[in-house]
Amino acid sequence: MPGLEDLYREIILDHYRNPRNKGELVTPPAHRTEGMNPLCGDEISVYLVVDGSGPDAIVTNISIGGQGCSISQSSASMMTTAVKGRSVSEARKTIKAFKSMMSIHDDGSEPHDHEVEAQPIKLGDLEALRGVVKFPVRIKCATLAWNTMAQGLDEVDTETL
Amino acid sequence: MTARHCSFSAAKVREDFPIFSRLINDKRIVYLDSANSTQKPQQVIDSMTHFLEHDYAPINRSAYRMAAEATDLYEGARTKVRHFIGANSDAEVIFTKNATESMNLIVWSWGKANLGAGDSIVLTHMEHHANVVPWQMLAAEKGFEIRWIPLTSDGRLDLSTLDTLLDGAKALSFTAMSNVLGTINPVAQMSDAAHRAGAISIVDACQSVPHQATDVVALGADLMAFSSHKMCGPTGIGILWGREALLDEMPPFMGGGSMISDVKLTGFTTAPLPQKFEAGTPSITEAIGLGAAVDYISALGMDNIRQHEIELTRYALCSLKDRFGDDIVIHGPTDVEVRGATLSFAFKDVHPHDLSQVLDESNVYVRAGHHCAKPLMRELGAGATARASFYIYNDEADVDALGDALSHVSDVFAY
């Protein structure tokens, strides 16, 4: 039986209390995407500033608006630090690696432990969220910001075509 | 009203509910989510098991002995519900899948036949989505106006402009008791106001029927929806009550078997009430269980249940305030005479999802979320609340367990 210590790791509570890259950005130049967790009603906004186009474009700035629980807010905060300054391609790989850690495989493939190793994306602090998998109803909290960012990156792609 | 002691004890009631003998991590379950769905007593479980083991047969269609017996048992459940709510005849009691289907039946039968462009209906800011979304769906098709009764700062309906809102309206549809705030609304007074304005009165009674005596005639409503699973009965069956003359005027909702008296290539004629609104094979076993649930809570006494919940709510409001002061904000009225035992609250700045997660560690089960009432959540300025709701099997020890678990929340999220 998983315990609370699996969920509320110190680093998660730190990102919850002191969220990084929090607040609204001016649109444009930033692109705003809203995400919602219909289960609990949490609403967040992901603001993206992307320089360039295509997979080599750089996420020069990212910020999070809205509110949520400790899991959704800390996951969003850690996500911003993981992708800020990285390329869109790296951001997408990080999304895939994070969702894989959450046991979500968008391409429909069965989970393989070696899959993440084959794509060496370092999740760093985000590893602290691994315990969320033991609490299935909270996976939606942890992935809210990530799904919203993925949608935002798609929208930015379409706009710059 | 002077306080008096109930003639039943929650501890004794708990003995009837096998689920409460379950231990999780060697600790008992503190079930505080009865506004969502209640647990089931052995009597209800046994009634359904017995029916399935000895009496099961399809109803209404066949001439053989067991089919006739099963039909009698199904109709017997209807009669129990009829007496339980003071309805005038069995024809007025329609079995549906759940209260949400009852509300949809009202909207797509009565609403579709009676509402068009230029018409209006009146809802309130404290409605469950089941009394909002079906109306919005029909309004998108028909173009009628939806007006809203606002709230006072202590979570009651602001009825000061009710007559103005009802002016020209064709229906007033509202909850008898808020599933979030616990507020008990003055159903009879509001039904009177609706009738004075020439509107019908539609009542979502999901949260009131399980917790206090109901007399549909005294309430003055025209249509009323409630559910079985919130009153110790099984899921899969809900109830629509309506005034017989009104139900007679309403067109059928779903078409199919059982609801017709004749079908030709050129059309059909409907069966008399209540079959007119019960298309297809109904939830027979569940109806038997609902009948047993009605017997069970009736035996406890609906006035006793109400009194038990008043006393428990008073204790909860006092003890949680004593323990946590301004760290806890309990929404809704503070007067226990005008509220039910459903307490939505904010605790410090801990998100309800986190709060319920920590409470789960102590087997204290509360609902965290928007409670299917997002317009109300926005009015409270919250995306979500935590909600503890009490019933016949809860007592002061459960309130204390909630308090102890909340202290633990403070520890985990100490800044």
- pLDDT tens series, chain B, 415 aa: 444 455 679 999 999 999 999 999 999 999 999 999 999 999 999 999 999 999 999 998 788 999 999 999 999 999 999 999 999 999 999 999 999 999 999 999 999 999 999 999 999 999 999 999 999 999 999 999 999 999 999 999 999 999 999 999 999 999 999 999 999 999 999 999 999 999 999 999 999 999 999 999 999 999 999 999 999 999 999 999 999 999 999 999 999 999 999 999 999 999 999 999 999 999 999 999 999 999 999 999 999 999 999 999 999 999 999 999 999 999 999 999 999 999 999 999 899 999 999 999 999 999 998 888 888 888 888 778 899 999 999 999 999 999 999 999 988 887 5
pLDDT of A115 above 70 = no
Q: Which whole number is the average pLDDT over A51-68? A: 90
| Least confident window among A59-68, A111-120, B73-82, B151-160 | A111-120
Q: What whole-number distance in Å separates Cα of residue B179 and Cα of residue B343? A: 9
Distance from CA of A39 to the nearest CA of B (A): 7
Contact B370 A141 (CB under 8 A): no
Residue in A18, A40, A74, A140 to test binding to B, most B beta-carbons within 10 Å = A40
| Helices (H), ranges, B107-207 | 112-114, 133-142, 162-166, 187-196
Contact A41 B357 (CB under 8 A): no
The rounded radius of gyration (Å) of the Cα atoms in chain B is 22
Identify residues of B whose CB sits under 8 angstroms from chain A CBs. 25, 351-354, 357-358, 361, 368-370, 374, 377, 383-384, 412-413, 415
Contact B383 A67 (CB under 8 A): yes
Distance from CA of A122 to the nearest CA of B (A): 27
Using DSSP's 3-state secondary structure scheme, residue B242 falls into strand
Q: Of the candidates A1, A13, A40, which has its C-beta nearest B353's C-beta?
A: A40
Q: What whole-number distance in Å separates Cα of residue B280 and Cα of residue B317? A: 46
Name chain A contacts of B413, Cβ cutoff 8 Å: 13, 70
* Contacts of B411 by beta carbon, 8 Å cutoff, 6+ apart: none
Q: What whole-number distance in Å separates Cα of residue B87 and Cα of residue B90? A: 8
CB contact burial B112-143 (16+ within 10 A = b; e otherwise):
eebbeeebbbbbbbbbbbbbbbbbeebbeeee
- Which residue numbers of B are catalytic? 372
Name chain B contacts of A68, Cβ cutoff 8 Å: 351, 383
Q: Using CB atoms within 10 A of its CB, is residue B65 exposed (0-12), middle (13-18) or buried (19+)?
A: exposed
Global pTM reads 0.91
Q: Using CB atoms within 10 A of its CB, is residue A38 exposed (0-12), middle (13-18) or buried (19+)?
A: exposed
Q: CB-based contact (8 Å) between A42 and chain B?
A: yes
Contact A43 B413 (CB under 8 A): no
